[in-house]
Structure 1
Amino acid sequence: MPFILIHTPQASGTLVGVLEVVLVSTLAGLLGSLTGLGGASVTIPFLVLLGVPVKHAVASGLISVIATSSGSSSSFLREGVTSLKAAMFLECFTISGAILGALLTVNVSSTAVALSFSAVMILSLLLTRLTGSHQGPEDVRQDRVSAWLGLEGSYFDASLGREVRYRLTNAVYGGLAMVWAGAVAGMLGIGAGAFKVAIHELVLRMPTKVSTSTSNLIMGMTALAGAGVYVASGLMVLDLAAPMALGTTLGSIAGSSLLTRIRDVNLRRLYFVLAGVSAAVMLYRALVLGV
């Protein structure tokens, strides 16, 4: 089986199997697309356990996020689930945050990055516990800015067999919160789908499926901004990022075709499992094995 040799000023001699990366990235892309987390939340802990330096895994993880977003967003847009207006508005905030977050990772220790990764996953679980699986809050009263932006829409939910209409609110507060979500994405290479989904549902009052699909679209642009910082810093290993991109693209395409056929309660259960496992792996690596 061919291997990837990671050889940079920050790391030398690390070998990773190409087939292993592709297979795990495919599964991660599938699960990340379904939950809105992004495939990197699964792939990064796996790479770290294989011995890949944390910062290199994070940098390559952003390529995985871009691939997940590219693979799934087109399908979501065709099905009319994504709120395109909301995505275009919120991306303005997440991109600036992603650049700041990536700059922070470049300048802090690897242990701090690993512990932050674990803490973010745990916090995402707590935030998601506060969000309810809702189909379409049609009774939401829009604020003036949200109404001016036209943040409303509808989609056909195959699991319910009917059209679901929704209106969004609190656009300004949601945008400011997304700066923080973008910073988390850039710092940890995970897309920060956990926080985007929570902000979408808690602040903007998005239905769960609209939140997941819109999160997938926003993650791609956010990750692209952060990836530029890692390329400039020399932390991006393209030989590692390429098979990750291939696997996550295949997985995300499959996941996007399954999203509307799975009930929201099952999506949320999957979300909890993935976030919990990712947090445990990174915490174990940082505190027990060392980074």
Structure 2
Amino acid sequence: MINTILLLVVVGLAAGIFGAIFGIGGGMIVTPILTLLMGLDIKYAIGASIISVIATSSGATVAYLKDDMLNLRVAMFLEIATTVGAIVGAILTGVLPSMVLYMLFGLLLLFSAWNMFRKMRAGKETSEAIQADSLSTKLKLNGSYYDNAVDKQIDYQVSNVPGGFAMMLGAGLASGLLGIGSGAFKVIAMDTIMKMPLKPSSATSNLMMGVTAAASATVYFFNGSIRPEIASPLAIGILVGATLGSKIMKHLRARVLRMIFIPILFYIGLQMFLKGFGVTI
């Protein structure tokens, strides 16, 4: 029993570090380990994964708010789209063929991974001149943060707000229809479409994931999917890991973050695309 608790804490620690750095939650670490390694029923693994997302968000958001890394206005604005999309997705469950949706969203992630790779090769990061659109100026979405890796204050403009909003509607739709996390979509919406730097994109995604997960956690709690003996050790490890991850991320260069994030994005996209054909990897 003690060994199991320690293992869950260690898994939570890894998931917290990973989730805080990349803004995609720790579900892709927690769920496979709980199901494949520990033989836990997928229902309880998903319940624990929801708790892990909330814990990652809580631990990382406090640190990122303190460091002024996340963009609170962008988070709240895009969360409207995610919430509406999730509600519509939940209503349409069973109406639209899930296999086709898996393939479409998988292709979108694969394209985004390729687009990020091109951006990285071109060396376009925070130095890229971005023109803010009128909507981002009106809503005061533009921001700034201090980048420890390059030791300077970076001001950035937010572009293509309608495109990012539409992407988040799609992300919410995917969450509601397919029951998947949408952390990768959130980062893509901000980094690739709205042209925000990767660091504030990841930090802002952490806050948004927690808001989204908190809404669905109530459902999982009342249907018995969340088991305290599993979720509690995980949450402890994740809170510590998320705090560490937020500190590590500040000192990583954006190029290094992309080098690690692109293969992750490619894997998630490939996994979703193949799932559309009934193949699980």
Same structural fold, with TM-score higher than 0.5 when normalized by the shorter chain? yes
The 3-state SS of whatever aligns with 1:163 is strand
Note if 1:25 corresponds to 2:15: no
Deviation at 1:195, TM superposition (A): 1.0
Equivalent position to 1:127, from 106, 112, 115:
112
Aligned length: 268
SS of the residue 2:55 aligns to: helix
Deviation at 1:224? 0.8
Q: Look up the match of 1:239.
A: 229
Residue 135 of structure 1: how far off its partner (Å):
3.5
Contact 2:106 2:271 in 1 (8 A): no
Matched residue SS, 1:37:
coil
Q: 1:231 to 1:61 in 2, by over 3 A?
A: same
Query: 5+ unaligned residues in a row in structure 2: which ranges?
Result: none
Normalized against structure 2, the TM-score is what?
A: 0.81
Q: Distance in 2 between matches of 1:104 and 1:227?
A: 20
Q: Does structure 1 conserve the Cα–Cα contact (< 8 Å) formed by 2:113 and 2:266?
A: no
- Contact in 2 for aligned 1:196/1:215 (Cα 8 Å): yes
Counterpart check, 1:44 vs 2:27 = no
TM-score by length of 1: 0.78
Equivalent residue in structure 2 for 1:148, among 133, 138, 148: 138
CA deviation string 1:44-92 (max 9, x = no partner): 1111213223233223211100100110111111111111110111111
Asked whether the 8 Å contact 2:85–2:170 carries over to 1, the reply is yes
Change (3 A) 1:247 1:99: farther
Q: Is the 8 A contact 1:25 1:43 kept in 2?
A: yes
The one of 240, 244, 247 equivalent to 1:257 is: 247
- Cα RMSD (Å): 3.2
| Bigger strand fraction | 1
Q: Does 1:268 align with 2:254?
A: no
Identity level (%): 35
Change (3 A) 1:143 1:214: same
Q: Is 1:230–2:216 an aligned residue pair?
A: no
Compared with structure 1, are the counterparts of its residues 68 and 93 closer, same or farther at alpha carbon in structure 2 (3 Å cutoff)? same
* Residue type of the alignment partner of 2:42: V
Mapped partners of 2:105, 2:45: distance in 1: 16
1:97-246 correspondence to structure 2 within 5 Å: 97-99=85-87, 124-131=109-116, 132-133=119-120, 134-136=124-126, 139-185=129-175, 187-188=178-179, 190=181, 192-246=182-236
When residues 59 and 248 of structure 1 are mapped into structure 2, their CA distance, relative to the original with a 3 A threshold, is same
Contact 1:64/1:244, CA 8 A, preserved across alignment: yes
